[in-house]
Structure 1
């Protein structure tokens, strides 16, 4: 895996060196996708998300477009040395916590096929399984991390019978993730069906339509989460204040009715002594 990482780092360095400086802000703006799928491949599958994971991601992208969907392939051996699945649990846990911190608005989707489904399931665990030393396994994720995970899709998750056969504890989905988890198993699958006898059907999740079913479940969970966010944003917006209409500066006064408590003005002359008659004017001599 060191060679793959080195090649990837060299490629990133070369690409960054030839990009114009003007593109840097745009590239940084695209760091956080709307959705981040964290998927663990099945046993002996090549590095990446595996055929089941690729089919799942493609189906999900088609259903949530134009939302952006990032993909993280859990880095772990995925061999028949099943105890090394702990490496995958630690890697997936680390990526989920880092994404929640760096991209709090991104909706994460946990997923896995076969042994990868066991890895994803253990990542959601609320407690370390009985009989397992805390020093040997990663610490369960903080409860609030579940708020950043919109859905969990598990394909062919090993049954308790299978886990007993390889001497590993049962996979218990954490209570904060149960309602958002879809656990799909093809009938008669030797790995996930408690009574299964066929290993051939274990690789038939795309053909049986279960990959599409899982993608639809996850897409519905994402759409519901986005709708809830939109309502919350609307409720948190400040309510515009209404401005009262000012009253007119001078309102027209109603006519005043005559008072009934005062006597009316007299029609004739006012009472009192009569006015003196005018004095005749005499012509004075010159």
Structure 2
């Protein structure tokens, strides 16, 4: 039942998001950057970092000062059914393992918004109704993931967060759920709350947390 409700809510939210979002190009830094930031956009958004990922990444780059930063927009469908979250986590994990093998000194920051937060949730090893076809970050590279930041995570509808549910990633995770956001807060109906993480300062706060975790 929760999955069906979530799909309906995300369908409504995705229409609203598409009304004021335009595609953005994602520029990658040098092959081996000091920090690699991956972000999974929300349901219905154009490919790229999205309305929450772009301000989060921009703020993080500023806060990291002179460090070189590579960015990666998770390549997945972000469709209304939520069924693309599993394949999205597979793409995310493939990117992380590829960069980790080529760049032994690179640190990783992983983030996601809405369904993209589910992509991240799956990747850190927490099962969700959208885990089918997904992948988990290999245990041997877990220490290189310095920060996990999610916004509007549907995991909240099950009364959980990455912080509370993951012994490995919980201490280095930060979850943001705006008051009234129906995608992450049980019984809420304010779809505007789901669209305004950047406007309400959460992306800056999340970037500050991630920057503080980078060694």
Instruction: Pick the TM interval, shorter chain.
Output: 0.7 to 0.9
* Structure 2 counterpart SS, 1:82: coil
Please give the TM-score of this superposition, normalised by the length of structure 2: 0.79
Matched-pair contact (CA < 8 Å) for 1:39–1:74: yes
* Structure 1 counterpart SS, 2:88: helix
Q: What residue number does 1:143 align with?
A: 139
Deviation at 1:201, TM superposition (A): 1.1
Q: What residue number does 1:96 align with?
A: 96
- Does residue 14 of structure 2 align to residue 38 of structure 1? no
Determine the C-alpha separation between the residues in 1 that align with 2:194 and 2:123. Answer: 22
The C-alpha deviation readout for 1:108-164, integer Å capped at 9, x for no partner, is 0110010001101110016xx38999xx53443321211110100101101453x79
Matched-pair contact (CA < 8 Å) for 1:151–1:221: yes
Q: What residue number does 2:12 align with?
A: none
Q: 1:204 to 1:138 in 2, by over 3 A?
A: closer
Determine the C-alpha separation between the residues in 2 that align with 1:138 and 1:205. Answer: 26
Q: What residue number does 1:51 align with?
A: 51
Q: 1:36 to 1:198 in 2, by over 3 A?
A: same
- Does residue 70 of structure 2 align to residue 70 of structure 1? yes
Deviation at 1:81, TM superposition (A): 2.1
Q: Which has the larger radius of gyration?
A: 1
Relative contact order, higher structure (CA 8 A, sep 6+)? 2
Determine the C-alpha separation between the residues in 2 that align with 1:175 and 1:123. Answer: 14
Matched-pair contact (CA < 8 Å) for 1:60–1:216: yes
Gaps of 5+ in 1: 1-26, 165-169, 227-286
Q: What residue number does 2:119 align with?
A: 119
Deviation at 1:220, TM superposition (A): 0.4
Matched-pair contact (CA < 8 Å) for 2:86–2:135: no
Q: 1:1-286 counterparts in 2 under 5 A? A: 30-125=30-125, 129=127, 136-161=132-157, 174-222=166-214, 226=215
Count the aligned residue pairs. Answer: 186
Gaps of 5+ in 2: 1-28
* Structure 2 counterpart SS, 1:207: coil
Matched-pair contact (CA < 8 Å) for 1:36–1:106: yes
Please give the TM-score of this superposition, normalised by the length of structure 1: 0.60
Determine the C-alpha separation between the residues in 2 that align with 1:132 and 1:39. Answer: 18
